[in-house]
Amino acid sequence: MRTVRLKLVTIIAEALLQDRLLDDIKRLGARGYSVGDVSGEGSRGVRASDWEGRNVRIESVVSAPVADAILEHLSARYFPSFAVIAWVADVDVARGDKYV
């Protein structure tokens, strides 16, 4: 099977941020996304404040430059003020042209 290597970006954030985050990642180039509900715990915010409770788990398959732009944006606009974490992984997809 011929596949294309792309990036899977996963973002965990408080549910209140969902619409804003989805707008942002679409503007930065994401062509689609999935959102699931998760609960969680961690110390990721400013002043190491704990967060605990209902969160959303957003994932989107994007090109490497878009993944980078999303991480840059999260770092600049969300990490200083909000309990948001994100990671990027390599994935192989069929129909790679649909994602870029």
Give whichever of 20 and 98 is closer to a copy of itself, judged by the CB atom.
98
**Which is nearest to 70 in space by CA: 79, 47, 51?**
79
Q: What angle do CA 42, 48, 49 make, to 5 degrees?
A: 70
Cβ atoms 52, 41 nearer than 8 A: yes
- Give the position of tokens 């190491």: 48
Give whichever of 37 and 81 is closer to a copy of itself, judged by the CB atom.
37
- Chain positions contacting a copy of itself, by CB under 8 A: 1, 3, 6, 8, 10, 12, 22, 31-44, 55, 57, 61, 68, 71-72, 74-75, 79, 85-95, 98
CB of 98 to a copy of itself, least distance (A): 6
